[in-house]
Amino acid sequence: MKDIYILGIESSCDETSISIVKNGCCEISTVTSSQIDIHKTYGGVVPEIASRHHIKNVTIVLEECLKKANMTMDDITAIAVTYGPGLIGSLLIGLTAAKTLSFIYNKPLVPVHHIAGHIYANNLVKPLNFPLLALVVSGGHTELIKMEKHYDFKKLGGTLDDAIGECYDKVARVIGLEYPGGPKLDKISKEGKDTYKLPIPLNDDSYNFSFSGLKSAVINLAHNEEQRGNEIRKEDLACSFQKAAIGSIIKKTRLAIHNENIKSLIVAGGVAANNYLREQIEKLGQEENIEISFPPIKYCTDNAAMIAAAGYFSYKEGRIEDLYLNAKSNDKLC
C-alpha cells in the first residue's frame, strides 16, 4: 500500500505549527513557533496580536518543516488543517495557508476539528484501541468522549462552565504565577500539602464537570486572606486545588469506565501534561484493569502532528473540503 503523507497545519491559538505525518502514526517532522513570551506580558493570549504573529510565522514554519523532512510539496498526499474551534483570527491564517497550498499544488484539503487532533495525538504513540474513552482536558475543553471506531465520536459528558485548563490558569494567576500558570501550579504543588478546604466540584453521578465554583472558592479564599493580612501558602493552595479538581475528573472518568464498555482510556489536551493527573490516571488504570495512554508532553499542548494524525483518518473517511471551507470559532466535535 502506498504511504500517505499528511501535512498538518495548526494555528487555533498562539502556536503556529506545521507537521508531516506518515500514515497517521509516524511523525516525520514538526516545526512549532510559540508566542508564549509575547503574550506573557498581557497575562493571556491577545487574539489580535496572535493572528499578526501567525501571519509573520506561517511561511517560515512551512519552509522549515519541509526542509527538516527533506521533502517538497510534491511528496505530500493531502493537507489537513484545524478549521475550529479557536480564535477566529488565528484559525483564518492557518486555514488560508492550507487553502493556498491546496490550490497551488492541487492537493486535497482535509478539515480537522481541534479536539479530534488532541485525541489522535495518542495515535502517534500507539494505535487507538476501541471501544475507548477519551478524557479531553485542555484550555478550552473538558469532555468525556467515547469512540467505537475511527472518527466516531460520542460525547458522554463535559464541563457545564469553565474548562479545566482555563481554571488552572485563573487560579495560578490569583496565587501570583505567570501565564500560562497551569504548568507552574503543577510544579509548586509538589512542595505543598493539602491543607486548604475547598469544595468538591459537581459531586454527582453524571458525566459532567463544573469548575467555576472551585475557581471562585480559591479567588475568595485568596482575597479574604489578603484582607486579613495573612500570606497564602501558595504551594499548599496549589496542592489543595489540584486534589479537588483532578479528584473530580478521576471520579467521573471512573464512572464512565464502569458504565460503558471501555477497553482503553486515552488522555488528550494540554492538561494531559499535568503530573498529578498522570499519576492519578495511572492509578485508575491499575485499579480498573484497563489500558491507558497519554501523549508524550510535546504532543499534549497544541501542535500540528496531532492535526496531521487526525487528518489521515479524516482523509481515509473521504472528508475533503473545497476552498469554501470556513473557520469556526465555536464548533462541536459531536
User: Can you give the binding site for Zn ion, defined by CB under 5 A?
Assistant: 138, 302
At 227, phi and psi to the nearest 5?
-65, -30
Measured distance CA(311)–CA(24) in Å, rounded = 7
Query: Minimal CB distance to ligand KG4: which residue?
Result: 270
- Residue placing its CB nearer to ligand KG4 in the complex, 108 or 183: 183
- Residue placing its CB nearer to Zn ion in the complex, 82 or 240: 82
Shortest Å distance, C-beta 314 to ligand KG4:
18
Binding of residue 271 to ligand KG4 (CB under 6 A): yes
Binding of residue 84 to ligand KG4 (CB under 6 A): no
- Per-residue burial over 160-188, b if 16 or more Cβ lie within 10 Å, else e, is ebbbbbbbbbbbbbbbebebbbbbbbbeb
Binding of residue 94 to ligand KG4 (CB under 6 A): no
**Which parts of 123-162 interact with ligand KG4 (CB under 6 A)?**
138-140
Shortest Å distance, C-beta 76 to ligand KG4:
25
**With CB under 6 A, what is the number of residues at the site for ligand KG4?**
18
Taking CB within 5 to 8 Å according to partner kind, which of ligand KG4, Zn ion, none is near residue 168? Answer: ligand KG4
H-only helix segments in the chain:
36-40, 47-69, 88-105, 114-120, 164-174, 181-189, 212-227, 234-259, 275-288, 297-300, 304-316
Cell numbers of 231, please?
500570606
Return left, alpha or beta for 59; rule: phi > 0 is left, psi -120 to 50 is alpha, else beta.
alpha
User: Which amino acid belongs to residue 280?
Assistant: Q
Return left, alpha or beta for 302; rule: phi > 0 is left, psi -120 to 50 is alpha, else beta.
beta
Binding of residue 180 to ligand KG4 (CB under 6 A): yes
Taking CB within 5 to 8 Å according to partner kind, which of Zn ion, ligand KG4, none is near residue 201? Answer: none
User: Which amino acid belongs to residue 1?
Assistant: M
- Residue placing its CB nearer to Zn ion in the complex, 16 or 138: 138
Q: Sketch the per residue contact string, 52 through 71, with ligand KG4: x for CB under 6 A, - otherwise.
A: --------------------
Measured distance CA(9)–CA(13) in Å, rounded = 12
- Residue placing its CB nearer to Zn ion in the complex, 18 or 232: 18
At 247, phi and psi to the nearest 5?
-55, -40
Considering Cα of 283, then 288, then 289, then 292, what sign does the dihedral take?
negative
User: Which amino acid belongs to residue 25?
Assistant: C
Contact residue for ligand KG4 among 183, 192, 201, 295 (CB under 6 A): 183
Binding of residue 270 to ligand KG4 (CB under 6 A): yes
Q: What angle do CA 120, 116, 306 make, to 5 degrees?
A: 45
- Residue placing its CB nearer to Zn ion in the complex, 11 or 102: 11
**Which parts of 278-317 interact with ligand KG4 (CB under 6 A)?**
301-302
Measured distance CA(5)–CA(7) in Å, rounded = 7
- Residue placing its CB nearer to ligand KG4 in the complex, 143 or 169: 169
Q: Which range touches ligand KG4 (CB under 6 A), out of 30-38, 143-151, 263-271, 306-314?
A: 263-271
Shortest Å distance, C-beta 75 to ligand KG4:
29
Taking CB within 5 to 8 Å according to partner kind, which of Zn ion, ligand KG4, none is near residue 108? Answer: none
Taking CB within 5 to 8 Å according to partner kind, which of ligand KG4, Zn ion, none is near residue 143? Answer: none
> Residue with C-alpha cell 499534549?
300
Binding of residue 14 to ligand KG4 (CB under 6 A): no
Taking CB within 5 to 8 Å according to partner kind, which of ligand KG4, Zn ion, none is near residue 123? Answer: none
Given strand 78-84, what is the order of strands in its sheet? Answer: 26-34, 15-22, 5-10, 78-84, 109-113
Binding site residues, ligand KG4, CB under 6 A = 13, 138-140, 165, 168-169, 180, 182-183, 186, 269-271, 273-274, 301-302
